[in-house]
Amino acid sequence: MSYDGVDVVHDAALVLKPGEVTALVGPNGSGKSTLLRTVARLQGARRGTLTLDPGTVDAADGFDLTARQFARRVALLTQSRPTPAGLTVRDVVEFGRYPYRGRWGQTDPDGTAVVNRVLALTGVDALADRGVDQLSGGQLQRVWLASCLAQQTGVLLLDEPTTYLDLRYQVELLDLMRDLADDGGIAVGVVLHDLDQAAAVADRIALLRSGRIIADGTPEDVLQPERLSETYGIRIDIDTDPLTGRLRTRAMGRHHSRSERLHSTS
């Protein structure tokens, strides 16, 4: 994958499985978003394949599908989206139904029920008739997520979806990702900066550095202190949260180190 002829991601192989959450993590500029956007066909690739539903009668090369066909298979929540003026929340969510509407505006018999369901699922049903230009950044983020869910795809890609969300909605979004994978059998690929969130929600983690996937496996396999410290250029310690049993990371800055020295000498 490249920008202006400069390769950004090299020889990356990413597998997103139904019923699993795969988190892409790594430093800024490591290629996480570029890789996700390439899977979503928003970013070109010099070479490679994009296989959807491999091993089934519905298997297809994603690069060969029409835009409408692809949009029935893969949905992407990008980092930033416009704030359209003069539209309600419901209007924006209904955009997600475009793959199911004919070229000449034929009706979408399932559309209303699907839109109502995803409005409730993302917690914006009470805002359905409000103009999107009246929303906070966090509210708008959930509206765009609802629009993606309205596409009813088997693959959902999320690029830093917790941006603009307060703590409550970050947790609810992580729970929703797990529900979509566990209950809906959806293959979820998500770019996250928070390693603890990745450890909490993901079945698999792909760690990127300098445009390459340097580790791909379970959180326990990938989140190793030596590997993370080298990748991020800062000391990162790992322990287990006694309440949840999940991995927990700590990035050790200068003040953490000073506190450690003081503690060891007291």
pLDDT digits (tens, 9 = 90+) for 160-186: 999 888 999 999 999 999 999 999 999
pLDDT score, position 1? 47
- The rounded percent of the chain whose pLDDT value lies above 70 is 92
The pLDDT of residue 8 is above 90:
no
Average pLDDT over residues 47-69: 88
The pLDDT of residue 255 is above 80:
no
Average pLDDT over residues 3-31: 86
Q: How many CA atoms lie within 13 A of 59 on its CB side?
A: 6
Average pLDDT over residues 233-246: 93
Question: CB count, 10 Å around CB of 183?
Answer: 9
CATH topology of domain 2-219: Rossmann fold (3.40.50)
Q: Which residue did the predictor score with more confidence, 164 or 262?
A: 164
Q: Which two tokens stand for residue 54?
A: 């491999």
Q: Which residue did the predictor score with more confidence, 146 or 258?
A: 146
- Split at pLDDT 50, 70, 90, the class of 46 is confident
Which range is least confidently modeled, 117-131, 145-159, 163-177? Answer: 163-177
- On average, the pLDDT of the chain sits at 90
Q: Pick from 59, 30, 52, 73: which is nearest to 191 by CA?
A: 30
Adjacent-strand bridge partners of 51: 61
pLDDT score, position 182? 97
pTM value surpassing 0.75? yes
